[in-house]
């Protein structure tokens, strides 16, 4: 029931398709129940009075039922695919959206390919399970009641003999419940990890080529495959034993029906037509029992997927308030402490005030916490820091930083991330209002002539931006920041990949625009120190706090 509750909001979004799916499934079901009954009666009437009209009537009925069945089966499959695909993708997107709003440190410990695989397969398993079963459970129960009733009416003795097979099914299910769940969970995890390893091979292709680590990476892949394969075999073994219990139940029932049914015909308690009805109905009954038996197995599969999705959706989101501001005049830090592991403070009791109109430099040796500091004031570590951070006297945790980062903060990262799209789309990424002519201008001011690219702004940047240089990549990211014209600009190592000429141009731009902005630059480059109004040396800050 909890699975159904969880999934219903996604499935019920497509009410009309769902309705069509239900109606036509019911039509197919009615035909499947009616057909053996009509056929059995036809056999008996042929045996009793050989009438030509009976043959014509029966043929027409069968033809009509066949046509209706073909049409409804098509509609059922078509509407099923529609609802299934759309609902699964909705669930998939919801999980991804939730993840994107979880604290950034959650991602640092996770492998994105693994996570994607996991969410995708779990969403599909769950939606398919509910869609294929929520009507089927009812229909099969109804089938059991109706066909049992008719069989009972036809031959009470034969029907009663078959009833004890039901508790047998229940016993089998309860025995296999736990092992199936456990091995199913294990297999899914291992599969996702294996696919993520495969993905890593292509993602790190440069690294592998440059270091010629083909053998090592193949070895890693094979090890990951072996663990996945072991889990697969274990799951198959348990599944097989479980399914063969199903076949055993089928064989037992057939033995019973042929033996006792034959006896009843000999004793003239059953006609041939009735016998065919009971055989068909009984195979339906067994189909239902086998369905419920397998439902136990697919329920355990779905439960695994449900638990794994819940695990993600129950993870705490990052703290993000609802207050919005339209400009940033000051950022004040009071006794701010931050640590990745609760023991060693990377930022320790830090006090500082940033004001509009200044360029600030953050310097310090590798690992002193420069990038950490930037993430902290951007609100990415809201769940973890101690002390107070204020934007214009409003506490950071109360601010809608999603809105503020989108509208009035521009960031250029140390290793800029670009999207697989054109240069133009990369420069304007995330910016709602801009002037198209300005794109070229901004790039030019950073010493990047767009005409050197064959298709200008429409030139595609391929995965991992391999068709442009590191410096050009950085300039695209800087251009994006300047085009946005934000209130606060943060540049993490903006000069690391720039030539001397380009650094001068960058310095020029920064001096020109600093009047109504807070600009913070993380740098190791001594040359750029000239344009800084204030310097925060994290080596000194940390050592002062340590001494205190
Ligand atoms: N997600 C993380 N989990 C644990 N420790 C981390 C994490 N990210 C960074 N650190 C540690 O925090 C310290 C500061 O890292 P940070 O990246 O802020 O340094 P940095 O001054 O920007 O370095 P660099 O000059 O090399 O870019 C480092 O010792 C680093 O190992």
Same-domain pairing of 23 and 100: yes
Which residue has better confidence, 518 or 198? 518
Q: Is the CB of 369 under 6 A from ligand 1?
A: yes
Tell which atom from ligand 1 comes closest to the C-alpha of 374: 18
Tell which atom from ligand 1 comes closest to the C-alpha of 493: 27
Mean pLDDT of the chain: 88
Best residue for ligand 1 mutational test, from 367, 376, 491, 495 (most atoms within 8 Å of Cβ): 367
Residue 389 covered by a domain: no
Please compute, for residue 102, the number of CA atoms within 13 A of its CA located in the half-sphere on the CB side.
18
Reported ipTM: 0.97
User: What pLDDT, in 10s, does the model give residues 204-227?
Assistant: 876 787 777 888 888 989 999 999
Q: Is the CB of 107 under 6 A from ligand 1?
A: no
Please compute, for residue 226, the number of CA atoms within 13 A of its CA located in the half-sphere on the CB side.
5
- Is it the case that residue 192 has pLDDT exceeding 70? yes
d(CA 139, CA 27): 11
Same-domain pairing of 143 and 15: yes
User: How distant, in Å, are the alpha carbons of 176, 451, 466, 506 from that of 493?
Assistant: 58, 27, 21, 12
Residue 338 covered by a domain: no
User: Distance from the CA of 119 to the center of ligand 1, in angstroms?
Assistant: 29
pLDDT band at 72 (very low <50, low <70, confident <90, very high): very high
For residue 295, count other CB atoms closer than 10 A to its CB. Answer: 18
Read off φ and ψ for residue 518, nearest 5 degrees. Answer: -100, 120
Tell which atom from ligand 1 comes closest to the C-alpha of 365: 25
> How many separate domains does the chain show?
2
Q: Is the CB of 362 under 6 A from ligand 1?
A: no
Same-domain pairing of 366 and 260: no
Tell which atom from ligand 1 comes closest to the C-alpha of 538: 21
Same-domain pairing of 282 and 407: no
Same-domain pairing of 155 and 301: yes
Among 415, 426, 474, 416, residue whose Cα is nearest residue 448:
474
Give how far the C-alpha of residue 321 lies from the chain's centroid of Cα atoms, to the nearest Å: 26
Domain boundaries, position 26: 2-313
User: What pLDDT, in 10s, does the model give residues 474-508?
Assistant: 999 999 999 999 999 999 999 888 888 999 999 99
Q: Pick left, alpha or beta for residue 367 (phi over 0 → left; psi -120 to 50 → alpha; otherwise beta).
A: left
Same-domain pairing of 220 and 277: yes
- The residue from 298, 313, 328 where one domain ends is 313
Same-domain pairing of 284 and 146: yes
User: Distance from the CA of 344 to the center of ligand 1, in angstroms?
Assistant: 12
User: How distant, in Å, are the alpha carbons of 421, 422, 463, 481 from that of 425?
Assistant: 6, 5, 14, 13
Same-domain pairing of 197 and 270: yes
Same-domain pairing of 282 and 408: no
Of 101-110, 115-124, 321-330, 463-472, the one with minimum mean pLDDT is: 463-472
Residue 423 covered by a domain: yes
Q: What is the percent of the chain with per-residue pLDDT over 90, rounded to a whole number?
A: 47
Q: Is the CB of 367 under 6 A from ligand 1?
A: yes
Q: Is the CB of 372 under 6 A from ligand 1?
A: yes
d(CA 354, CA 362): 12
Question: Where are the alpha helices (H) located in 314-322, listed in sequence order?
Answer: none
Among 361, 412, 357, residue whose Cα is nearest residue 532:
361
Residue 323 covered by a domain: no
* CATH (domain of 529): 3.40.50.300
Mean pLDDT along residues 49-58: 83
Highest-confidence segment of 141-145, 251-255, 355-359, 411-415: 355-359
Tell which atom from ligand 1 comes closest to the C-alpha of 108: 1
Q: What integer pLDDT is reported at residue 358 of this predicted model?
A: 95
Among 380, 288, 398, 295, residue whose Cα is nearest residue 340:
380
Same-domain pairing of 40 and 148: yes
Query: Dihedral of CA 291/293/295/298: which sign?
Result: negative
Same-domain pairing of 426 and 281: no
Q: What is the percent of the chain with per-residue pLDDT over 70, rounded to a whole number?
A: 96
Give, using CA atoms, the residue closest to atom 17 of ligand 1: 371
Query: Dihedral of CA 321/322/326/330: which sign?
Result: negative
Length of the chain: 548
Q: Is the CB of 366 under 6 A from ligand 1?
A: yes
pLDDT band at 130 (very low <50, low <70, confident <90, very high): very high
Residue 215 covered by a domain: yes
Q: Is the CB of 123 under 6 A from ligand 1?
A: no
User: What pLDDT, in 10s, does the model give residues 428-483?
Assistant: 998 888 888 888 899 999 998 888 888 888 988 875 556 788 899 999 999 999 99
User: What pLDDT, in 10s, does the model give residues 356-383?
Assistant: 999 999 998 888 999 999 999 999 999 9
- Is it the case that residue 231 has pLDDT exceeding 50? yes
Same-domain pairing of 176 and 35: yes
């Amino acid at each position: 029931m909890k699975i159904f509750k969880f999934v219903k909001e996604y499935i019920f979004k497509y009410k009309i398709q769902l309705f069509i799916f239900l109606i036509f499934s019911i039509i197919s079901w009615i035909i499947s129940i009616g057909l053996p009954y009509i056929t059995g009666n036809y056999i008996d009437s042929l045996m009793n009075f050989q009438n030509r009209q009976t043959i014509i009537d029966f043929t027409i009925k069968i033809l009509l039922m066949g046509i209706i069945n073909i049409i409804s089966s098509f509609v059922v499959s078509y509407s099923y695919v529609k609802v299934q695909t759309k609902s699964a993708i909705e669930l998939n997107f919801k999980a991804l959206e939730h993840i994107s709003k979880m604290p950034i440190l959650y991602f640092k410990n996770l492998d994105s390919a693994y996570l994607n695989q996991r969410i995708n397969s779990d969403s599909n398993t769950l939606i398919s399970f509910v869609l294929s079963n929520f009507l089927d459970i009812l229909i099969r129960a109804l089938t059991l009641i109706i066909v049992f009733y008719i069989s009972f009416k036809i031959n009470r003795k034969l029907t009663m003999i078959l009833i004890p097979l039901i508790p047998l099914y229940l016993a089998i299910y309860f025995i296999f419940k736990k092992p199936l769940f456990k091995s199913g969970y294990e297999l899914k995890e291992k599969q996702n990890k294996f696919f993520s390893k495969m993905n890593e091979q292509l993602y790190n292709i440069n690294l592998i080529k440059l270091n010629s680590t083909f053998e090592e990476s193949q070895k890693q892949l094979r090890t990951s495959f072996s663990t996945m394969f072991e889990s697969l075999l274990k799951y198959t073994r348990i599944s097989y034993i479980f399914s063969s219990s199903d076949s055993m139940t089928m064989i037992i029932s057939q033995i019973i029906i042929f033996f006792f049914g034959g006896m009843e015909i000999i004793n003239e308690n059953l006609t041939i037509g009735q016998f065919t009805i009971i055989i068909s109905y009984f195979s339906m009954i067994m189909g239902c029992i086998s369905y419920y038996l397998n439902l136990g197995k697919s329920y355990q599969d779905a439960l695994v997927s449900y638990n794994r999705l819940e695990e993600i959706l129950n993870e705490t989101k990052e703290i993000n308030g609802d207050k919005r501001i339209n400009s940033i005049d000051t950022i004040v830090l009071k006794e701010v402490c931050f640590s990745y592991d609760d023991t060693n403070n990377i930022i320790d009791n830090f006090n500082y005030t940033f004001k509009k109109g200044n360029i600030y430099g953050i310097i310090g040796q590798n690992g002193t916490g420069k990038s950490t500091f930037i993430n902290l004031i951007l609100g990415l570590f809201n769940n973890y820091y101690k002390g107070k951070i204020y934007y214009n006297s409003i506490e950071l945790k109360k601010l809608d930083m999603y809105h503020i980062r989108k509208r009035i903060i521009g960031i250029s990262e140390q290793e800029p991330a670009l999207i697989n799209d054109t240069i133009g789309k990369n420069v304007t990424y995330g910016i709602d209002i801009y002037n198209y002519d300005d794109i070229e201008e901004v790039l030019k001011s950073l010493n990047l002539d767009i005409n050197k690219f064959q298709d200008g702004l429409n030139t595609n940047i391929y995965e991992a931006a391999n068709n442009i240089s590191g410096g050009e990549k950085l300039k695209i990211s800087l251009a994006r920041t300047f085009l946005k014209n934000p209130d606060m600009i943060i540049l993490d190592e903006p000069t690391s990949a720039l030539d001397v000429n380009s650094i001068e141009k960058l310095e020029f731009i920064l001096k020109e625009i600093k009047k109504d902005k807070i600009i913070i630059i993380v740098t190791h480059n001594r040359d750029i120190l000239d344009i800084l109004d204030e310097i925060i040396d994290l080596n000194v800050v940390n050592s002062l706090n340590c001494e205190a």
